Chain A
Amino acid sequence: MPSEPNAEAGPAGSSPWRLALRQLRRNRVALAFGGLLILIAIFVLAAPLWAEHVADTGPNETHTLEKIDVDGEKREVVNVEGRPIGPVWLGAGGKYFLGADGRLGRDEMVRLMYGGRASLFVGFASALMATVLATILALLAGYYRGWVDTVISRTMDVIWAFPVLLLGIALGIALALGGLKIGPVEIPSGSIWITILIIGGVLVPYTARPLRGTVLALREKEFVEASVAQGAGPLRVMFGELLPNLASTIIVFFTLAVANAMLFEAALSFLGVGVQPPDTSWGAMVGDGFDLIGSAPLLTILPGTMIFLTVLSVNVLGDGLRDALDPRSKVRLEAHAGIAEPEGTAV
């Protein structure tokens, strides 16, 4: 791997971010899974290309009664018993590469690619939403303390006390199937944004709680005091002083939130209260395929494997980022191996 000319110039003058980047570059496992994540992203981004030029069908087009030419042999897409055709690979010029998805005879490969778009989009968008909300709440609670902190923390406690999957299901039933109307804002039922709102909202406490603790600790530091003494207002302190010091923690929690949001989306869609038909996601595809698990297990296992690989990549990459951004984790290992004197548990 070619390194930048100044990457080996030594720690003097290197910014923490550059140090972290260098650390991450050395982590081969994290890099490999980062590469896998990029491949998955390319796979789902290529969906329209594959649909138009190879499979010649959209993700929701049904082909119940059609026959296709597989290696010169005519085969039904869905047979009389309602069983879909299995993977034909390149036998039909790329059509039905992975077979059909069930009674409706939709192209499984096309659906897998489009479903992945929904899964990744919901995962990233709701994680982003949860992280932004959590950061703002944590900054408010940690900066103002007192009753602001009490109100925010107690509200988080109540949401925390809810079984998280049940809360998602309850909101999914109330919103995903009925739509949402708040004043001028109207989101129709079945919109993917409802799923994003639900997951983003439900995951807020999981990020806000630990971030609040970090803000409370930072609030006591001299640089905050110095900033206040210079006459900085609340916004300046929160976003100019505290936020930059939170950045590395936020990044680590964001990756965790992406992984959790994707698993959450999959569970909700599997149960039918997440992404709504005719749209699909990997979780919804697992749910659809489950009825046929005895005869066509691939319909369940393929989209499930895609979720697994994506979440795994995000988690490994997140771990790599954490190791790179949090030097303490290295110190801990060295301390155990007897290389350095243990530093205690100072935060």
Chain B
Amino acid sequence: MGAFVLRRLAGMAAVLFAVSVLTFLIFNVIPNSDPAQRMAGKSPTPQLVASITEEWGFDDSLPQQYLTMMGKIFSGDVISYQGQEDVDNRIVEGIPATFSLCIGAAVIWMFFGILFGYLSAVRAGGLLDKTLTIAAVAGISVPVFWLAAVLLNYLAYETGLFPAQGYVKLTEDPIDWAYHLILPWITVAVTLVGLYSRVLRSNMLDAMGEDYVRTARAKGLRERQVMSRHVLRNSLIGIVTLFGLDFGALIGGSAILTEAIFNLNGVGLYLYESIENLDLPPIMAIVLFGAFFVVLFNALVDIAYAYLDPRVKLGTEAQ
């Protein structure tokens, strides 16, 4: 097991390296204009462009440029051109709001995703299943910002039931924190509830055809026990895998739309502002930050998977 974890972490480092090279290529090598020119923002002065060229070493060879960029991001001295802020600091400041949004939404989407998926698998073909299936397809088809706009307009602006904007720190006032986050949580969760309930339903229907389920029925277990102890438990393994990927992606930037619309002061909102100002240093840093979380959760999922499913462990040790 230890060797497996180590190997997985080494793989993670390799993928991170590849991702950082890709980021570098996208921003610095795509041959359309001087990178310094783009980095300097919308209306740069020649001096600014010259100083950026100097600072980021755009006249050096490509590998040297790559090393300069990585060195700057990891040593924490990337400065945004709009507002002259320390980018790494801003990202760290945004983490509480982003994590509050993502973790809360994750609790909601896992709970309802599993509940709805279970109910529709158990009642497959019935009215409840059909209703839930239609609801799930609708959930998957919802554009995030449309849902946010509808919730904002009808539940915040018109009726005043919920606050429209802003993030309140958990440490300041936990109730206000949750109150401000309810609409964003729902916004993020709806699509994923739809996806997870569908995946779980289909996993469970697959599992119902397996031999161990027949065995469980044959030895006289009640239907409910067969469903919850055997079918559901085995189907959840697939959900855990999916969860790791989605949660990583969410923290790594997929929450940008929700944060921007609800004005939650997280990493996503910072990215949104940076895009509006075409401020490249923070965008690069945030893309790497996001990729880091996706890769990290990918690795965690694989390791969790090896614990949950003994066959995986055997497979890797046999090699």
Contacts and interface: CB of A to CB of B under 8 A. Distances in A.
Given A263-B141, A271-B256, 7 more contacts: A163-B290, A163-B293, A165-B249, A180-B30, A290-B261, A333-B205, A336-B124
A166 interface: yes
Nearest to B276: A272
B32 A170 contact: no
A161 interface: yes
A173 interface: yes
Nearest to A319: B137
Nearest to B133: A319
Interface in B1-40: 15, 18-19, 22-23, 26-27, 30-33, 38
B278 A294 contact: no
Interface of B: 15, 18-19, 22-23, 26-27, 30-33, 38, 124-125, 134, 137-138, 140-146, 149-150, 152-153, 157, 205-206, 208-211, 214, 248-249, 252-254, 256-257, 260-261, 271-272, 275-276, 278, 280, 283, 286-287, 290-291, 293-295, 298
A165 B283 contact: no
A163 B19 CA distance: 10
Given A175-B30, A315-B141, A336-B125, A170 B283 contact: yes
A40 interface: no
Contact of A300 (B138, B149, B248): B149
A305 B249 contact: no
Contact of B208 (A263, A272, A316, A335): A335
A165 B254 contact: yes
A163 B253 contact: yes
B36 to A, nearest CB: 13
A307 B254 CA distance: 19
Contact of B146 (A179, A272, A301): A301
A308 interface: yes
Contacts of B272: 271
The size class of the interface chain A forms with chain B is 35 or more
- Dominant SS among interface residues on chain A: helix
B146 A166 contact: no
Contacts of B142: 308
A181 B29 CA distance: 12
30 contacts: A157-B15, A161-B15, A161-B295, A163-B253, A163-B290, A163-B294, A164-B254, A165-B254, A166-B290, A166-B291, A171-B26, A175-B30, A179-B32, A180-B30, A180-B32, A259-B140, A263-B143, A266-B145, A267-B144, A271-B256, A271-B257, A272-B275, A273-B275, A290-B145, A290-B261, A293-B153, A300-B153, A333-B124, A333-B125, A335-B208
Contact of A304 (B30, B143, B205): B143
A290 B205 CA distance: 42
A286 B32 contact: no
Contacts of B153: 293, 297, 300-301
Closest 9 CB pairs between A and B? A304-B146, A342-B209, A312-B141, A178-B32, A163-B252, A311-B141, A163-B290, A166-B253, A297-B153
Contact of A332 (B22, B209, B256, B257): B209
Contacts of A314: 141
A1 interface: no
Nearest to A159: B22
Nearest to B32: A178
Nearest to B210: A345
B291 A290 contact: no
Nearest to A310: B141
- Dominant SS among interface residues on chain B: helix
B62 to A, nearest CB: 16
B96 to A, nearest CB: 20
Contacts of B211: 344
A343 B290 CA distance: 42
B284 to A, nearest CB: 8
B209 A343 contact: yes
A148 interface: no
A336 B253 contact: no
A229 interface: no
Contacts of A151: none
Given A181-B31, A300-B149, A336 B15 contact: no
Contact of B32 (A175, A308, A311): A175
B278 A177 contact: yes
A162 B19 contact: yes
Contact of B30 (A178, A315, A335): A178
Interface centre among B143, B145, B287 (most CB of A within 10 A): B143
A204 to B, nearest CB: 14
Nearest to A179: B32
B146 A308 contact: yes
B262 to A, nearest CB: 12
A100 to B, nearest CB: 19
Contacts of A169: 253, 256, 271, 275, 283, 287
Contacts of B256: 165, 169, 271
B77 to A, nearest CB: 22
B151 to A, nearest CB: 11
A170 B23 contact: yes
A166 B286 contact: yes
A158 B209 contact: no
